[in-house]
Amino acid sequence: MFDLSGKSALVTGGSRGIGAGVCEAMAAAGARVWVHYNSGADAANEVAAAIVGKGGAATAVGGDIGDSAQAQGVIDAIEGQGGQVDILVNNAGINIQSHLIRMADDQIQQVLNTNLLGTIYCTRAALKGMMKRKWGRLIHISSIVADLGSPTQTIYCATKSALFGFSKALTKEYAGRGITSNVIMPGLIDTAMTRALSEEQLNSILATIPTGRIGQPADIAAACVFLASNEASFISGAELAVNGGAL
């Protein structure tokens, strides 16, 4: 089950955290992996090297996906190396925490560019090849705060909740062509950002999670592998909560 052999996956923001975990899981399931990065070339190359060291196939590919031309350039670079994008995991995201009234225009635009426009641009670029092959998997990484809301994260919440409508519309447009589109909603996941929390903050959040633990990147990665597989071909337009029951 969940064999991705013969498929090729692009994971945006794949150099660390959830993205790195998704890259590793996709490769373990047999997929050829493209580890996307914007500024973290060294980290992306390390992820790719670790996958290759385990017998998998992976290559780092860079670009600012918040820029339309560069997002297309990422796909072009993959195809220029004889690759393709069968599976796109729109994982790249940033969060500038601030009360909305204090956010500058450039900060708002930066979050919109990476989280929302980057997803739109990469999806548009990847769809061309998927349509030709009549097979594709679009997986968008949202967040539990898209439903809950969160103070000091208004723009982040807006971009993550926008993925719901985006994915449902993609389903209406492309599911009949063998291309599915789904959203994953992670809860609190053990990443560098989480490890920066104080013990008090961490305990407060843990109290809201019925399973009693923080999630791991592998938890999100496993959901991505499932949604990318043939076994999930009848699932599209769905929102999968991976949050330990916190929502």
Task: Tell me the catalytic residues.
Answer: 156
Adjacent-strand bridge partners of 241: 185
Cα separation, 17 vs 72, in Å, equals 24
Residue spans of beta strands (DSSP E) within the chain: 8-11, 32-37, 57-62, 87-90, 136-141, 179-186, 239-242
Token pair in block for residue 181: 């589109």
> Within 10 A of 26 (CB to CB), how many other CB atoms are there?
30
User: How far apart, in Å, do the first and last CA atoms of the chain sit?
Assistant: 29
Which residues, other chains included, contact 161 with Cβ-Cβ below 8 Å and sequence gap of 6+? 142, 146, 147
Q: What is the dihedral of CA 171, 173, 178, 184, to 10 degrees?
A: -20
